[in-house]
Amino acid sequence: MKKISKILLIFLLSIIVLVVAFKRATRISPPQVVNNFELNEQKIEVSNNLYTFQDSWLKKNKYGLWEMYASGAPFELGYKHGILTDSLSAYQELQFVNSIKEMIPSESYLKFLKHFLGWFNRKLDKYILPEYQQEIYGISQFTTSEFDFIGDKYPRILNYHAAHDIGHALENMNLVECTAFMTKEARSEDGKMLIGRNMDFSVGDGFAENKIVAFYKPEKGNKFAFITWAGFVGSVSGMNDKGLVVTINAANSSIPMSAKTPVSILAREVLQYASNIEDAYEIIKNRDVFVAELFLIGSVSDNKTVIIEKSLEKSAVYDAESDTLIVTNHYQSEELKSTELNKESFVDGSSPYRMSRVAQLLQKNEKHSPTTFAEILRDQLGLDDKNIGMGNEKAVNQLIAHHSVIFKPEELKMWVSAGPFQLGKYLCYDLNLVFNDSLDINSNIFIESETIDEDEFLFSDDYSNFIEFKKETERLKNILKSDNLEQITDIDLDRYISLNPNFFYTYYIVGECYRLKGELNKADENFEKALTLEIARNSEKELIESKKNLLKKK
């Protein structure tokens, strides 16, 4: 008995030691901060949807876009960001957490994932520059306590900055599928460089409701603008006052072993400290990342746009040496295009298809303007104008965009889409005007006369059908999980098909409904119909074929 008690005691002590060791290993301490400004002030509500704090401000324009200006040293920048966006940040985190719960409904697996990410990201702060740690720490002063069960505020917000990287590294998540392109000289109406980009990072529509067009004047480096969300200091799309544009597109990546520099933080560093392509390349090549990425860099001083391609092992520059350039989600440089992961992206993914579609659309106009760029960014058709269904990953416009933006760097102008997706108006911002000390924040920050109108699709029956299709898809998927199949009728499924009849996924869902209801002939008919349509990924085609084969065995 004493021997058993001794073994049990040793076992319990071992568990305690392991828990303590795990917590120590995964603890991320706040950075050291020197404050040079008053912390006791409160933000001022000047009017409805307009707030100020010292020289910084946040306002919501009449088209639903939030606009924010912040200045100062790193902690000061973050503190101003945090105090101005505290309610937005709480809502943003709620939407993010809810989206994760929808993707991973198992509470036990979520707990495992929390501890796994704690271990995975245990050295994350070592790869983030101290100034960005201080900025994030400033934001964390106003982070909601509602999600403290996930982690302490500062390490929690720090970890969220790696969400983009983790999302596109995990196989079959398909959260990040972006498209960007450039024209200049003979291919642009006035000869000036234009860059367009869809940011297709999807973690639910709610996450994109409160996007922010942010204008930063940091203590060191360039002034710059970027499209972001509350609580996020990284950049996925932005332009600085030197006329340097940075956007990021995911590339096919292996599963990482540990966190390193988040690519959005790296893009932010480029915006803040690079004035040309050489500067950008030096910054990017000297940082370790844990996922592969494509950095589109447009530079006024170089009069060109290139793609800096970064794998886990090397960096390469792709220069099309042309007045057009297109980037989707695969490597094009000689150094990296033959890698195995890149070959896999050609076989399975939608990236080459979307690139070909953008090339077709660029050829439809001899010369381009911001308006023609908006038309391309909104295009939902497939190659040769084929109807491939609403929401297809092969389309330039997949109806999932967090934001869409058009840059004209020589004039320091950018057009940012109001929601939903890229269907609302594109509003024009001039960095020269926004960073002018005489700016009147009580008036429009954007240039009304250069607004690009909404997409007519937004007011169509098809758009209404698409919104209903999304809701019905979620309802049917939830029923399939719960096995309450008697709730699904033939009338429901016929109506569902009518909402999005050219989309392969429509028939896959209907086929699954009939398969689980035991109506195998109808299931087979719908799987067969899906296989005749434009399927986004080869892996999805193989899944549908496997479902058909299961029916044959039955």
- Please tell me which residue, 34 or 193, carries the higher pLDDT value: 193
Q: Which of 343, 345, 337, 302 is nearest to 316 (CA)?
A: 337
In single-letter form, the type of residue at position 107 comes to E
Cα distance between residue 198 and residue 549, in whole Å: 37
Strand 50-53 with 293-299, pairing: unpaired
Please report the pLDDT score of residue 167 as a whole number: 64
Instruction: Kindly report the average pLDDT of the chain as a whole number.
Output: 89
Please report the pLDDT score of residue 169 as a whole number: 57
Cα distance between residue 326 and residue 403, in whole Å: 18
- Please tell me which residue, 550 or 70, carries the higher pLDDT value: 70
Please report the pLDDT score of residue 492 as a whole number: 95
DSSP secondary structure of 134-187: HHHHHHHTT--STTTTT--HHHHHHHHTTHHHHHHHSTTT--B--EEEEE-GGG
Give the tens place of pLDDT for each residue, 430-467: 999 999 988 999 999 999 999 999 999 999 999 999 99
Cα distance between residue 349 and residue 343, in whole Å: 10
Percentage of residues in the chain having pLDDT higher than 90: 70
Q: Which of 95-109, 231-245, 395-409, 465-479 has the lowest mean pLDDT?
A: 95-109
Binned at pLDDT 50, 70 and 90, residue 19 comes out as very low
Strand partners, 318: 307
- Indicate the DSSP class of residue 469: H
Strand partners, 427: 416
Binned at pLDDT 50, 70 and 90, residue 483 comes out as confident
Please report the pLDDT score of residue 408 as a whole number: 98
Binned at pLDDT 50, 70 and 90, residue 69 comes out as very high
Tell whether the model's pLDDT for residue 187 goes beyond 50.
yes
Give the tens place of pLDDT for each residue, 336-387: 999 888 888 888 889 999 999 999 999 999 999 999 999 999 999 999 999 9
In single-letter form, the type of residue at position 218 comes to P
Tell whether the model's pLDDT for residue 297 goes beyond 90.
yes
- Please tell me which residue, 32 or 180, carries the higher pLDDT value: 180
Strand partners, 216: 70, 224
Edge-to-edge, what's the strand order for the sheet holding 315-318? 44-47, 50-53, 56-60, 66-72, 212-218, 224-228, 237-240, 244-250, 293-299, 304-310, 315-318
Please report the pLDDT score of residue 23 as a whole number: 44
Burial annotation 532-554 (CB, 10 A radius, 16+ → b, else e) = ebbbbbeebeeebeebbeeeeee
Mean pLDDT confidence for 212-234: 97
Is 151 within 8 Å of 29 (Cβ atoms)?
no
Give the E-state strand segments of 265-417 in sequence order: 293-299, 304-310, 315-318, 324-327, 403-408, 413-417
Give the E-state strand segments of 169-300 in sequence order: 179-183, 194-199, 212-218, 224-228, 237-240, 244-250, 293-299
Cα distance between residue 228 and residue 69, in whole Å: 12
Give the tens place of pLDDT for each residue, 115-171: 666 766 778 889 999 999 999 999 999 998 888 888 889 989 998 888 777 765 554
